[in-house]
């Protein structure tokens, strides 16, 4: 059923303008939110943990509805991705921030660590379209048809893909020649490390932090978030450069990234796409 939904979305994006497709996607998102008590419960729980939002029960449902509408637009834009050319990239992404981010990766490869915030897919694709050597670590969707659909859209923009299942053993070799992008806020393998996220203990990826310590690779927390001008802007924090002093430092890198994730989620709560209860 989900695969059929993606096929319908692909057809809609082909035959109507993107703005109309996004409007349709938002309506679908609103129906999903209205009909799913699980989604409403998860979003309310997660938002209750965010400073500035959590203390106001009347505000949380409004933010939650904006989350599902924004996520619907993110999915629609992802389906549209193969039609996005370098010529019209400026319609979607702020080119000034994109250029600065591209320069940040010039020279020695780095680990770009992000959260499920904003539109990480467009951010990575835009970087690749600007000539950045970038591989991304992706979750293997259990439906192989959907996994192939996702892969084709990413590779159409010059992105190289690395499965989350093989990332731990392949990262070191890849980082010799290419930067790597990874979402560091959700553990899809069951092998993550415990960390505190908005006061809740959860498990998150940690292999990147151990490699940063071992190899002296820069860790750059970065985000692709929509601004008031309607475009996505690339924002990042200063690179975390780890001394090579073992596991304790790797744990500190993970904790630092989680604190940065919290900072950006608090700033852009309506663009935080976590549809499972944090900590579960």
Average pLDDT over residues 100-121: 89
Over pLDDT 90: what percentage of the chain?
40
pLDDT at 246 over 60: no
Do residues 247 and 132 both lie within one domain?
Answer: yes
Cα dihedral 19, 140, 277, 21 in deg (nearest 10) = 10
Do residues 120 and 73 both lie within one domain?
Answer: no
Output the six-digit token pair for 193: 């490390």
Winning range, highest mean pLDDT, from 1-15, 166-180, 257-271: 257-271
Output the six-digit token pair for 26: 């938002």
Structural domain ending residue among the three candidates 83, 109, 136: 83
Q: Say whether 17 sits in a helix, a strand or coil.
A: coil
Do residues 216 and 150 both lie within one domain?
Answer: yes
pLDDT score recorded for residue 111: 92
Do residues 162 and 68 both lie within one domain?
Answer: no
Structural domain ending residue among the three candidates 83, 106, 136: 83
Do residues 94 and 76 both lie within one domain?
Answer: no
Do residues 250 and 236 both lie within one domain?
Answer: yes
pLDDT score recorded for residue 1: 46
* Structure-model confidence comparison of residues 210 and 271, the more confident one: 271
Run of H or E residues at 223: strand 218-226
Q: Say whether 48 sits in a helix, a strand or coil.
A: helix
Please choose, from the candidates 157, 245, 242, 158, the residue with its C-alpha nearest in 3D space to the C-alpha of residue 208: 242
Q: Say whether 14 sits in a helix, a strand or coil.
A: helix
Output the six-digit token pair for 199: 């006061």
Do residues 172 and 248 both lie within one domain?
Answer: yes
pLDDT at 245 over 60: no
Structural domain ending residue among the three candidates 83, 112, 142: 83
47-61, 150-164, 223-237: range with lowest mean pLDDT: 150-164
pLDDT score recorded for residue 8: 65
Q: Which domain holds residue 148?
A: 88-269
Average pLDDT over residues 264-276: 96
Output the six-digit token pair for 268: 């852009």
Run of H or E residues at 235: strand 232-236
Please choose, from the candidates 92, 70, 59, 46, the residue with its C-alpha nearest in 3D space to the C-alpha of residue 199: 46
pLDDT in tens, 181-221: 999 998 877 778 899 999 999 999 888 888 888 888 899 99
In a domain, 279, yes or no: no
In a domain, 181, yes or no: yes
Q: How many domains does the chain have?
A: 2
**Phi then psi dihedrals of residue 52, to 5 deg:** 90, -15
2 band by pLDDT with thresholds 50, 70 and 90: low
**8 A C-beta contact, residue 108 and residue 218:** yes
In a domain, 245, yes or no: yes
């Amino acid at each position: 059923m989900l695969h059929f939904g993606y096929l319908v979305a692909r057809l809609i994006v082909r035959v109507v303008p993107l703005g109309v497709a996004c409007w349709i996607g938002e309506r679908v998102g609103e129906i999903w939110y209205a009909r799913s008590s699980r989604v409403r419960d998860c979003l309310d729980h997660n938002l209750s943990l965010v400073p500035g939002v959590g203390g106001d029960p009347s505000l949380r449902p409004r933010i939650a509805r904006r989350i599902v509408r924004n996520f619907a637009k993110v999915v629609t834009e992802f389906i549209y991705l193969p039609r996005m050319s370098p010529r019209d990239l400026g319609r979607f992404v702020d080119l000034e921030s994109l250029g600065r981010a591209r320069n940040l990766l010039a020279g020695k490869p780095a680990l770009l660590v992000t959260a499920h915030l904003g539109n990480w897919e467009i951010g990575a694709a835009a970087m690749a379209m600007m000539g950045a050597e970038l591989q991304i670590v992706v979750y293997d969707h259990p439906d192989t048809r959907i996994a192939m659909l996702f892969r084709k859209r990413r590779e159409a923009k010059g992105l190289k893909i690395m499965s989350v299942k093989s990332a731990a053993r392949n990262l070191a070799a890849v980082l010799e020649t290419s930067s790597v992008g990874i979402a560091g806020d959700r553990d899809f393998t069951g092998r993550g490390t415990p960390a505190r996220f908005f006061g809740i203990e959860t498990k998150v990826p940690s292999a990147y932090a151990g490699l940063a310590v071992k190899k002296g690779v820069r860790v750059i927390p970065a985000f692709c978030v929509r601004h008031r001008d309607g475009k996505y802007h690339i924002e990042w924090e200063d690179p975390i450069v780890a001394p090579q002093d073992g596991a304790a430092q790797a744990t500190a890198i993970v904790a630092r990234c989680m604190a940065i994730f919290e900072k950006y989620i608090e700033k852009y709560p309506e663009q935080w796409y976590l549809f499972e209860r944090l900590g579960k």
